[in-house]
Amino acid sequence: FIFFHQNLMQAGPPVAGGRACSPRNAWGFALWRRSCGLPNVAGREAASGGSARRCQPRSIGLESSPGGMVPLAAHGRQLLSVAPMMDWTDVHYRQLARLISKHTWLWTEMVVDATVIHTDNLDKHLWFPPEQHPVVLQLGGSSPEKLAAAVKKVVPYGYDEINLNCGCPSDRVAGAGCFGAALMLQPELVAACMKAAGDAAAGTPVTIKCRLGVDAVDSYESLKRFVTVVSEGSSVKHFVVHARKCFLSGLNPHQNRTVPPLRYEWVYSLKRDFPHLMFSLNGGVQDAAEARAAVLYEGPWPSHAAPGPGSEVEASSVPGEDAADAHRFAASRDAADTNTLYVHSTSSASTADRQMPVPVVTGDRGDHACGLGPRSATRPVGEPIGLRGRIEGVMIGRAAYNNPWGVLADADVSLFGAEENAAESRRQVLERYCEYADAVMGRFGQKKDGSPDPGVRAMVKPLTNLFYGAPGSKRWKSEVDTVLKTDPASVREVVDRT
């Protein structure tokens, strides 16, 4: 229903009222703040307390996930999601994130298909409490047969989507069975993998997470071919696109997240060229305020794009070819009036492809650095996005792990249109996380040394960033580390002693 109407309706005018500002990052791409109107939750609250909202999160249920599938339609659009991150987005981090935001989509770490097939303790890799819905499992693999076998074992756990990793440039992935971004060089193989996975998924949607390109295969036409081959050869309808290319050699994973320039225009152009598919944007977006603005951005578009109803793109001079131009903005009077800037990015694409209007905003970050957007004078607080916007949603990665409260605390209201956010304060989140942690202690058995699995240290790990930016945060983290060395019996003991 949502998908059908997204392609028939383009409700909502282009964002207006923005003004030019200085670049936020080295590549000269402005991200969006304030232009879309965001509700104001309370400002930063210190570790000593404070309130940012007013509701009671759902109670924690620890029954096993198999058989507890929640229909996908119950969750709606994937307006905001937390990216899959190896060693980070485990079940414990996801529980913390769910206590902060009730509606944000959560993704697992990548799980290799062979692990799912051969492990003796499948729950350790796939179990999650039912309140973590909506949640997406990301698989790694390149064999249609293996992926199909893995998906059959995954389905009973009730994940809302099953995703194939076609975007990770890490040598831990690309060099071990052609996983990750290397698969973009073989779109026919990806189509076969997703056909097999979709057939085995028993109705669970299968999706792709990918990059713009890999190594020298980095033109927009190559990206379009990848999307065409995969979507026509399988049931994939949703692509989550990290808006950078990647290099399989020469750059490490961190550099692949920062060195290649962001090209948001390519993601929006994919939606224009494939209106029957869904595309989510990943890369560079830092909080719920920017995510809302990115979702609501509906033009104007580059001169090579087919303008939408009522939109008009005027010719604009493109900065010179020197790469240093990527660090500079050229804002014309018309660009300021339409809340856009034309930004130059070095690319193998044509000159027209490099002319991209990007929404911009002004003002200092102030309290909004913690992700709590300002109240808008033009947009009602918490007005649902509904069917508006071209892209399906936005995915945020490390920012959501390093500052979970700042990124997620206002997401339910500002992005999903809820009446209220999920938690009143970080102390409330901390209390409820302790309830969860003490209940799942040792759920997966014992480690070789006889300690419970999961243990205290593993479950305390996600908490260490909860008070990011708050007075006393660093001191508290230091004290937590000291207590962990004394072999505490529970997470609650760690919290009580610190």
User: Would you call 51 exposed, middle or buried from its count of C-beta atoms within 10 A (0-12, 13-18, 19+)?
Assistant: middle
Alpha carbons 292 and 207: distance in angstroms, whole number: 22
* 32: Cα within 13 Å, side-chain hemisphere: 28
**In sequence order, which residues have a C-beta less than 8 Å from that of residue 110 and are 6 or more positions away?**
84, 86, 138, 139, 140, 165, 168, 173, 179
Q: What are phi and psi of 356, to 5 degrees?
A: -125, 120
What does residue 280 show for φ and ψ, rounded to 5 degrees? -110, 150
DSSP 325: G
Q: Where are the beta strands (DSSP E) in 322-405?
A: 340-343, 356-359, 393-396
Q: How far apart are CA 196 and CA 210, in angstroms?
A: 19
Question: What is the three-class DSSP state of 415?
Answer: coil
| Contacts for 445 with CB less than 8 Å, ≥ 6 apart | 121, 453
List Cβ neighbours of 120 (8 Å cut-off, separation of 6 or more): none
Buried b (16+ CB within 10 A) or exposed e, 359-377: bbbeeeeeebebbbbbebe
Biggest alpha carbon distance in the chain?
69
**3-class DSSP assignment, residue 426:** helix
| Euclidean distance between the first and the last CA atom of the chain, given in angstroms as a whole number | 50
Kindly report the number of other CB atoms within 10 A of residue 184's CB atom. 26
Asked if 267 and 241 touch (Cβ cutoff 8 Å), the reply is yes
Amino acid in the structure at residue 167: G
Q: Known catalytic residues?
A: 168
Q: How far apart are CA 300 and CA 129, in angstroms?
A: 43
- Identity of the residue numbered 348: S
d(CA 100, CA 94): 10
